[in-house]
Structure 1
Amino acid sequence: MKCTTTLRLLLYMLLAGMNTSLLAQSLKVSDNKRYLIKEDGTPFFWLGDTAWELFHRLDREEATMYLEDRADKGFTVIQAVVLAELDGLNTPNPYGDSPLINNDPTQPNEAYFEHVDFIVDKAEDLGMYIGMLPTWGDKFNKRWGVGPEVFTPENARTYGEFLGERYKDKPIIWILGGDRIPEEEEDFAIIRAMAEGLANGDEDTHLMTYHPMGGRHSSEFFHEDEWLDFNMYQSGHGQKNTPNYEMTAHNYQLEPVKPNLDGEPNYEDHPINWKPENGWFDDADVRQAAYWSMLSGALGHTYGDHNIWQMWQEGREPISSARTPWKEAIDHPGSQQMEYMRQLFESRNFTELIPDPSLVVNAEGEDRHIAAARGSDFMMVYLPANSSVEVDAQKLSGKRINAWWFDPRTGDSVSLGKFKNNDSYTFRTPIATKDWVLVIDDANKAYTTPGEMLFGMNK
């Protein structure tokens, strides 16, 4: 069911008894430590977008346009940075305001934060959470970028407490770091002090994670820290077919058990390895990264578009060969296809999923990774471009099974019929050169068609 933003909100308000404050429910880790849920126990599907420069570069009309588009496409988390990467301390926002007085983290500029407030409130009205980065990483570790480094452990704690108190009643997820790793002891001290300040300010009501540089994991540095509620890694933009499923699987095996996700995979319309002569990542690359990670144990997934993170438009210097104005890039096909992915997982009990490569007995065709996972009564297998796959569904409940092909490009499904659940079966993709998801259910559970949703997405 396709819903406009307005219809989505009306449906949500009806279901919530007209109490829009429910949109701001705090999130928590599920009992199995693999996923996120809301306070009322409702599963939460993280479908993120990297809008790093949202607070810094967009005015209120533009921010509203962007957020309404993302809500309409089913996004649930908007990842944005308060002290932004692109000279965020010294180049003011569209209203002429910089975030800090004298670049002092203990002296926030009220006018700047009123603009941040507007965007946070608008996202809340639309049923989305802000994955808020207090700062980009160059403000504590200027390995590259603009900087300057302005943080100490002392002012990081003060700044964190300010943010935590200001947004304690808002739908926020804290994301520390910002494309950097801690390298010196002071870097570790700054991050931990900021986390402490955030928790003190918001009375420990919001989840926290850490966004590292490309190819790295938050778990490398903070996995055993109590403030780190779930792990985030960045698979990045360096090559085609980056095996992000290995990164998800790495974190999945760690103790203590914590949820994890790819917080920055390859961006749609990004030059491969930052070189246009290598070609550009497209929607197929975006889909592959998403399904690979999800079926390897991720709590959700973050999408990104190279033009949107920087809010590029004519007249602005393009970072790393950005070529499409952001108001056009919001309609790139990958972002719409992320909605189909969310619909697919939410049409099943996705918080029960367990990665299980043994479900695949054999496959013919291209040799890229096939990702497979199962719940107690359903399974999903992602084929990047294979022509056929032999699967064993006998780990599922039920004597009979339903099988479907789900098209991740369109959100449509093709029924393959019912089968006895006492043998392995081989299924051939409708189009061998395209990616598909094989969905198999216990026939007695009466699941809907894969991807079919009863109500609007952001509810």
Structure 2
Amino acid sequence: MHKLLTAVLCIIICTTGLYAQTRKPAPAQKGAAPLTKLYIIKDKRYIMRGDQKPFFWLGDTAWELFHRLTREEADLYLKNRAAKGFTVIQAVVLAELDGLTQPNQYGALPLKGNDPAQPNEAYFQHVDWVINRAAELGLVIGLLPTWGDKFNKKWGKGPEIFNTANARVYGEYLGRRYKSKPIIWILGGDRNPEGEQRMVTVRAMAEGIKKGDGGTKLMTYHPQGNSNSAGFFHSDPWLNINMFQSGHSARNQKSYVMQRQNYSLFPVKPTLDGEPRYEDHPVDWKPQQGYFDDFDVRQAAWWAMLAGGCGHTYGNHNIWQFFDKDRNEPISVARTQWARAMDLPGAFQVGYMRRLYESHPWTRLMPDQSLILNANPEDGGYQMVAVSEDDNFLFAYTPHGRPLTLDLARLKAAPLLLAYWFNPRDGRTELIGTFPNTGKQEFKPYAAGPGTDWVLVIDDAKASFAGYGLKRK
């Protein structure tokens, strides 16, 4: 009977074109209406849409989007990201790269006299256009009111222009202007709020935004590298989502550490890595150490998600700055034209991750490393697992393709199991088969080695979500 079921499932997978389908981009979410009301159910670790469906945050760092691109270029970029399955575009109003002194592509500066209380309407009309176009494509803008050097220079161009009073006024202006748009507010901007005065300034901006939009939008905080919003604002009621930045300093950076810390905090809040190692970024800013590649992207993403993320942000070193050798100088040894960098492999692969998650009731997943029974050193091949709170499916990630020995007794709701390997590099699946749940079981991928990562999926063989994208009849 088990062999027959396996054969039937294999036939269904092949005849429905599953292998081909996994290579297609995830479709954009149609219509902005469900996305204008994003909310969080109390004591839950994920975001909901206005149509009562879970919202998977799949972000891209497009920090200079409003500042460096024309409308035609922004449209090209946004359509590319929507087609790949991204859901959140993280962009900055007062940009990092001479954002106060160098106008946008239409000759407009954001502020009059560098005064946050005097926004320039021409500049914000362009911001409006980009936000509206994103909404038409089913994208949410993760909107940073300012880059962090405008309230904590520390490094970068600056200048510091914010104080408690004008931060509140500026926040209220933005909140009122974008009250009806699909927006998630991201305060901070690669800076920690060092000192009491800066903490007060950030809180004043949050208060202004809340007053302007009536408290209808979610809000988070983007800290600097190897830092965590929870360390500053976890107890603040305006902080709906915790965001950390695992950063760009090393390969095998343990992105799951801060994710685990946030997952265990009270009050419960969703959490995600808002800036992991960028694809095509020099390791630790030193080209002689090589550049992060698509494996680095996947490893950071799967580690963070299986540690309890409400989603994940991808980044590409050329795209955040929209590097164009004919228009601007490269920042930190950028080397690829942004329009070409849009199709580097990591951008496709995070979309495959989203598709696998959304083929299951993913909001019910809980991290549980106790299911891994084999030796599991915390190196680049560190394995992670998350299991459904209903005890009927799990995902396990093995970055170097090492065998996994799992305690399947936890899946007590599933006496008959279906197992398959999901290839996070190309989105394809390899069916292992069905078998009775007898507890301990070893699974060995058919290829191994650094960069040869796999996701093991084990389902209740009788569940409707069995199989990647497969709906059983």
- TM-score (norm: length of structure 2): 0.91
Choose which of 440, 443, 455 in structure 1 pairs with 2:461.
443
Shift of 1:200: 0.5
State whether residues 264 and 304 of structure 1, in contact with CA within 8 Å, keep that contact through their aligned partners in structure 2: yes
The one-character-per-residue Cα deviations of 1:373-423 (angstroms, maximum 9, x if unpaired) are: 010211000000133111112212121111010000111111111111122
Match of 2:307 in 1: 296
Shift of 1:452: 5.5
Shift of 1:40: 2.7
Residue 212 in 1 paired to residue 223 in 2? yes
For residues 187 and 88 of structure 1, do their structure 2 counterparts lie closer, same or farther at Cα, with a shift above 3 Å needed? same
Choose which of 384, 387, 396 in structure 1 pairs with 2:399.
384
Distance (whole Å) between structure 1 residues aligned to residue 471 and residue 134 of structure 2: 22
Match of 1:333 in 2: 345
Distance (whole Å) between structure 2 residues aligned to residue 131 and residue 262 of structure 1: 13
Match of 2:334 in 1: 322
Choose which of 242, 248, 264 in structure 1 pairs with 2:253.
242
Match of 2:162 in 1: 151
1:264 is paired with a residue whose SS is coil
For residues 77 and 358 of structure 1, do their structure 2 counterparts lie closer, same or farther at Cα, with a shift above 3 Å needed? same
Match of 2:153 in 1: 142
1:358 is paired with a residue whose SS is helix
For residues 59 and 2 of structure 1, do their structure 2 counterparts lie closer, same or farther at Cα, with a shift above 3 Å needed? farther
Distance (whole Å) between structure 2 residues aligned to residue 369 and residue 97 of structure 1: 49
Residue 94 in 1 paired to residue 122 in 2? no
State whether residues 340 and 451 of structure 1, in contact with CA within 8 Å, keep that contact through their aligned partners in structure 2: no
Choose which of 43, 49, 58 in structure 1 pairs with 2:69.
58
AA at the equivalent of 1:388: P
1:64 is paired with a residue whose SS is helix
How do 1:225-236 residues align onto structure 2 when only pairs under 5 Å count?
225-236=236-247
State percent identity of aligned pairs: 54
Residue 184 in 1 paired to residue 195 in 2? yes
How do 1:98-117 residues align onto structure 2 when only pairs under 5 Å count?
98-117=109-128
For residues 452 and 313 of structure 1, do their structure 2 counterparts lie closer, same or farther at Cα, with a shift above 3 Å needed? farther
For residues 452 and 312 of structure 1, do their structure 2 counterparts lie closer, same or farther at Cα, with a shift above 3 Å needed? farther
Shift of 1:3: 9.8
Say how many residue pairs are matched.
445
For residues 295 and 21 of structure 1, do their structure 2 counterparts lie closer, same or farther at Cα, with a shift above 3 Å needed? closer
AA at the equivalent of 2:121: E
The one-character-per-residue Cα deviations of 1:33-56 (angstroms, maximum 9, x if unpaired) are: 211111232000000000000000
Shift of 1:177: 0.2
Match of 1:126 in 2: 137
Match of 1:48 in 2: 59
For residues 402 and 218 of structure 1, do their structure 2 counterparts lie closer, same or farther at Cα, with a shift above 3 Å needed? same
AA at the equivalent of 1:318: P
How do 1:402-421 residues align onto structure 2 when only pairs under 5 Å count?
402-421=418-437
Shift of 1:446: 3.1
For residues 367 and 79 of structure 1, do their structure 2 counterparts lie closer, same or farther at Cα, with a shift above 3 Å needed? closer
Distance (whole Å) between structure 2 residues aligned to residue 27 and residue 414 of structure 1: 36
The one-character-per-residue Cα deviations of 1:245-288 (angstroms, maximum 9, x if unpaired) are: 11100111111111100000000000000000000000000000
Match of 1:426 in 2: 442
Distance (whole Å) between structure 2 residues aligned to residue 367 and residue 338 of structure 1: 19
Distance (whole Å) between structure 2 residues aligned to residue 241 and residue 349 of structure 1: 29
Match of 1:344 in 2: 356
State whether residues 401 and 441 of structure 1, in contact with CA within 8 Å, keep that contact through their aligned partners in structure 2: yes
2:116 is paired with a residue whose SS is coil
Shift of 1:128: 0.6
For residues 340 and 451 of structure 1, do their structure 2 counterparts lie closer, same or farther at Cα, with a shift above 3 Å needed? farther
2:101 is paired with a residue whose SS is coil
State whether residues 367 and 386 of structure 1, in contact with CA within 8 Å, keep that contact through their aligned partners in structure 2: no
Shift of 1:24: 3.5
AA at the equivalent of 1:428: K
Larger deviation, residues 266-275 vs 393-402: 393-402
The one-character-per-residue Cα deviations of 1:425-449 (angstroms, maximum 9, x if unpaired) are: 1111121121000000111213242
The one-character-per-residue Cα deviations of 1:218-258 (angstroms, maximum 9, x if unpaired) are: 00100000000010000000000000111100111111111
Q: Which 4+ stretches in 1 moved above 6 angstroms?
A: 2-5, 364-367
Distance (whole Å) between structure 1 residues aligned to residue 23 and residue 119 of structure 2: 39
Distance (whole Å) between structure 2 residues aligned to residue 142 and residue 94 of structure 1: 25
Residue 76 in 1 paired to residue 87 in 2? yes
1:133 is paired with a residue whose SS is strand
- TM-score (norm: length of structure 1): 0.94
Match of 1:16 in 2: none
Match of 2:417 in 1: 401
State whether residues 22 and 426 of structure 2, in contact with CA within 8 Å, keep that contact through their aligned partners in structure 1: no
Match of 1:313 in 2: 324
Match of 1:199 in 2: 210
State whether residues 159 and 194 of structure 1, in contact with CA within 8 Å, keep that contact through their aligned partners in structure 2: yes
Shift of 1:368: 2.5
The one-character-per-residue Cα deviations of 1:274-325 (angstroms, maximum 9, x if unpaired) are: 0000000000000000000000011000000000000001131110000000
Distance (whole Å) between structure 1 residues aligned to residue 438 and residue 471 of structure 2: 30
Distance (whole Å) between structure 2 residues aligned to residue 423 and residue 230 of structure 1: 37
State whether residues 259 and 309 of structure 2, in contact with CA within 8 Å, keep that contact through their aligned partners in structure 1: yes
1:386 is paired with a residue whose SS is coil
State whether residues 343 and 453 of structure 1, in contact with CA within 8 Å, keep that contact through their aligned partners in structure 2: no
Choose which of 254, 259, 263 in structure 2 pairs with 1:252.
263
Distance (whole Å) between structure 2 residues aligned to residue 121 and residue 345 of structure 1: 28
State whether residues 149 and 191 of structure 2, in contact with CA within 8 Å, keep that contact through their aligned partners in structure 1: yes
State whether residues 230 and 262 of structure 2, in contact with CA within 8 Å, keep that contact through their aligned partners in structure 1: yes
Q: For structure 2, list consecutive stretches of 5 or more residues without a partner in the other structure.
A: 1-20
Match of 1:457 in 2: none
Larger deviation, residues 83-92 vs 395-404: 395-404
Match of 1:353 in 2: 365
For residues 252 and 364 of structure 1, do their structure 2 counterparts lie closer, same or farther at Cα, with a shift above 3 Å needed? closer
State whether residues 43 and 267 of structure 2, in contact with CA within 8 Å, keep that contact through their aligned partners in structure 1: no
The one-character-per-residue Cα deviations of 1:149-199 (angstroms, maximum 9, x if unpaired) are: 000110000000000000000000000000000112110111000000000
Q: For structure 1, list consecutive stretches of 5 or more residues without a partner in the other structure.
A: 14-19, 455-459
For residues 119 and 453 of structure 1, do their structure 2 counterparts lie closer, same or farther at Cα, with a shift above 3 Å needed? farther
